A and B are shown apart, each in its own frame.
Chain A
Amino acid sequence: MSHDAETQRSSSPVHTVLASIKHSPLLLPLVGLIVVSIAMAFASDNFFSVDNLVNVLRQQSIIGILAIGMTFVILTGGIDLSVGAVMALCGTLGAGVMVNMGLPGWLGLLAMIVVGILFGLFNGILVAWGKMPAIIVTLATMLIARGLGLVYSGGYPISGLPGWVSWFGIGRIGGIPTPIIIMVVLYALAWVLLQRTAFGRHVYSIGGNETAANLSGVNTKRIKLFVFMISGFTSAMAAIVLTGRLMSGQPGAGVAFELDAIAMVVLGGTAIAGGRGLILGTLIGAILLGIINNGLNLMGINPYLQDVIKGLIILLAIYIGREWR
């Protein structure tokens, strides 16, 4: 062992950097991003225009935000199928607060955040203390959230919001669309939480070995509760962007968004069983999925066929990632 220690220490910094790149979970998502970008650039002249790339990011922002909370949950070894439905419920109730109750717009936005976090709390309590599998719990709460939104609104969109709310969906800050800014800021916050706080380490430890984490004194139940609350919060943030974009509360919005969010997390190199992965990977996964969507559109491919191609690309990506490890 001591001999190996010597050789390791004497290896040059270049080697260390190369080794850390080779073992980084970001390598494959990045390579995928570059390869797909180049392919799309060849397939379509419009692809590499600033407008188009900004467009891709903007289109991905809503699900990209959902994927942040999803990353936290998946890192602990769980899953949250309720994100799309919770987002729709947040938007509907928030719009209801503004329109039906006639309260100020900021209260409506606050209501969205409160509803999102409460739903996350509900999920978290059922998973951590109720000891039920996350996939079943969130499948059920997905139905509950979806149903509640439809019951409250009677199935109709709620429109007539204060004009400034649209800033969250179609506004710009210094020329950059607000949704992109919101998404990037949330990713940065998530990075800090995961990489620079004890909470983040505990999230990874639970996905790595929950029993060991518990016996070392990590409060595993509380951490699980928090990750679902974070997911609820990001669902609410996605609802704010969505509501701003549509200028209405849409009880039927976000169907199957949870699946795209999961795809982004997995494409970003996060292990579905938890314990390994980086939030930056999810951002890359979101952009990758956006570029694929965008490129297929620019090429004018039949939308039905697009889903088939997307599915195949995801399978291929997971296969390569698996072989790599």
Chain B
Amino acid sequence: MLEMKGIRKAFGPVKVLHGVDLEVRDGEVHALLGENGAGKSTMMKILCGIVRADEGTIVIDGKERSFEHYDEAIQAGVGIVFQEFSLIPYLTAVENIFLAREIKTGGFLARKAMRKRAREVLDKLGVDVPLNVPVADLSVAEQQFVEIAKALSLDARILVLDEPTATLTPSETEHLFKVMRDLRSQGVAIVFISHHLEEIYEIGDRITVLRDGEYVGTRDVGSISTDELVEMMVGRRIENNFPPKPPAAPNAEVVIDAAQIQLRKNGPVSTFQLRKGEILGFAGLVGSGRTETALSILGAYPAASVKVEINGTPGAPANPSEALARGIGLLPESRKDQGLITSFSIMQNISINNYGKYRTLKYFLDLSEERKHTTKVMEDVQVKAPGPDVPVDTLSGGNQQKVVIARWLNHHTPILIFDEPTRGIDVGAKSEIYHLMRQLTEEGYSIIMISSELPEVMGLSDRVCVFRSGAIVATIEGDEITSEDIMKHATTGKLRYVA
């Protein structure tokens, strides 16, 4: 069906693919696995004609192909659903599915015909998506189904799904897998990129592993163990993902004392304390108010009421700049949209909020000091890059995340809020970030970690605040931190209101 052979690609001096092979058969779900920066996304972009390979061949149905443009790949039956969706938010599902190839009668849009056709495709997927509302109003899962429908309406026989489950709830993921199984039985070849091994075991038929732009191998899912897979990915065994938790300090001082946070008017209220030197997990389902609560402490979310004391000083910061002055830093949920200035170098991204540190004559930047300091923190958190002047948008996700962390270490904000610190990051980098977080708390930093991954919450948190429907419903610690307990609170916990 699809065969990519000896694919090589370099961006300037950085070689990202050194001769990678990929062979996908009809009616199989082929998982493409590798750490961030292993070259998965670049492979897929080459397949779709978005990026051109320097060397190598692409064969589809026995015919050698070379795509100059995405359109040509579509013509050849390739469809891709990107990590960042490419839907137009203000258009409806129908309009999105038929974007740029609208069905027309006599120069006018044949709205009925398009609706009917869209409905057919979505029915084929077995999903029910409202067709009349802008896709921005749909859930992430529904948007994804619209993307898949768009690809299928183009008669895609090779469907690439790039981390489709990253933002889905478990039940939505289940639904997606059902759709994938149906498509597989219809003979569609699916390339599935995911960092979740359990998902690959559940849905995948075969796996191709890449590491640092090299082809490591292709295996049947049934004949390989998790340990073997992880070893193929990282080239080394990861023995323990989570660093050990230190015993709880009996009288640790309270750095954030949130007496009452109410996100919406008349909504439920939360109470929590963050103690010095601990990792406080914020768990709960997506949309349960974890991020909003954390952002309200920074002055970045307009909550109805925030009664909070930070290091003994009452009052919430009005904006993130004030939060910074009071020692709170944020590692936001989305590196690209909220974390990094992508046009800046690594150095400029790290030093952005702490120029006070390297100044001469009071007002001027001391560029050599800046370089010295940022290079040091960059090495402390092990950003893998040739130097501090490298543009940050050329780094892999894990390394970009480390750059944002380095920014706060450079500033020494003693309170850190990490929102989904390991989203879209490979196993190796995850483990590095876990150890880094524990190392930070040992140095006296206090961390709030928002995470949708239960193992992460359980493995790393000293205490866990469980959210449900906009507020904290329970705070648990020690042996109580089990997945059963967290899920129980997250689904049935009792909300507290103020009179």
Contact = CB atoms under 8 A, between A and B. Distances in A.
Q: Most A CB atoms within 10 A — which of B298, B329, B338, B353?
A: B353
Nearest to A200: B365
A171 B15 CA distance: 59
A114 to B, nearest CB: 23
B337 A201 contact: no
Contacts of A4: 13-15, 386
Contact of A217 (B37, B323, B343): B323
Contacts of A52: none
Given A213-B352, A217-B320, A275 B365 contact: no
Given A1-B212, A198-B365, A201-B355, A215 B320 contact: yes
A59 to B, nearest CB: 33
Interface stretch (A141-149, A203-211, A310-318): A203-211
B407 to A, nearest CB: 6
B341 interface: yes
B138 interface: no
Contacts of B108: none
A198 B321 contact: no
Nearest to A209: B341
B428 to A, nearest CB: 12
A204 B340 CA distance: 12
Given A2-B384, A211-B338, A217-B320, A198 B13 contact: no
Nearest to A2: B384
A122 to B, nearest CB: 22
A197 B363 contact: yes
Contact of B344 (A5, A198, A208): A208
Interface string B399-414: 0000000010001000
- Chain A: number of interface residues, binned into ranges: 20 to 34
B319 interface: yes
A214 interface: yes
A218 interface: yes
Interface string A288-315: 0000000000000000000000000000
B339 interface: yes
A55 B497 CA distance: 75
A322 interface: no
A196 B341 contact: no
Contacts of B385: 1, 5
Contact of A9 (B323, B384, B386): B386
Contacts of B342: 208-209
A211 B337 CA distance: 7
A275 B351 CA distance: 16
Contacts of A2: 384
Contacts of B131: none
Nearest to B325: A217
Contacts of B300: 214-215
A237 B394 CA distance: 41
A201 B348 contact: yes
A65 B455 CA distance: 59
Nearest to B392: A208
Nearest to B328: A217
Contacts, number: 100
A310 B351 CA distance: 41
Given A1-B385, A8-B386, A8-B387, A215 B332 contact: yes
B315 interface: no
Nearest to A216: B353
Nearest to A211: B338
Contacts of A214: 300, 319-321
A161 to B, nearest CB: 36
Interface residues of B, number: 41
A198 B343 CA distance: 17
A212 B320 contact: no
A198 B352 CA distance: 8
B235 interface: no
Interface string A133-157: 0000000000000000000000000
Interface in B310-325: 319-321, 323-325
B386 A5 contact: yes
A245 interface: no
Contact of A216 (B14, B212, B343, B407): B407
Contacts of B325: 217
Contacts of B320: 214-217
A178 B289 CA distance: 61
A7 interface: yes
B330 interface: yes
Interface in B328-369: 329-330, 332, 337-344, 348, 351-353, 355-356, 359, 363-365, 367
A24 interface: no
Contacts of B337: 209, 211-212
Contacts of A202: 352
Contacts of A189: none
Interface in B249-275: none
A5 B395 CA distance: 13
Given A1-B385, A219-B321, A209 B365 contact: no
B401 to A, nearest CB: 13
A69 to B, nearest CB: 20
B338 A197 contact: no
A207 B344 CA distance: 11
Contact of B352 (A1, A197, A218): A218
A204 B343 contact: yes
A8 B332 CA distance: 31
A1 B38 CA distance: 10
Nearest to A192: B364
Interface in A210-267: 211-221
6 contacts: A197-B355, A208-B342, A209-B340, A214-B321, A216-B352, A217-B324
Interface of B: 13-15, 37, 212, 298, 300, 319-321, 323-325, 329-330, 332, 337-344, 348, 351-353, 355-356, 359, 363-365, 367, 384-387, 407, 411
Interface of A: 1-5, 7-9, 192, 196-198, 201-202, 204-205, 207-209, 211-221, 275-276
Instruction: Give the 10 A-B CB pairs with smallest separation, nearest first.
Output: A217-B324, A198-B355, A208-B341, A219-B321, A208-B343, A8-B386, A217-B353, A5-B386, A275-B343, A1-B384
Given A205-B344, A214-B321, A216-B339, 6 more contacts: A1-B212, A8-B387, A198-B356, A211-B338, A218-B352, A219-B321
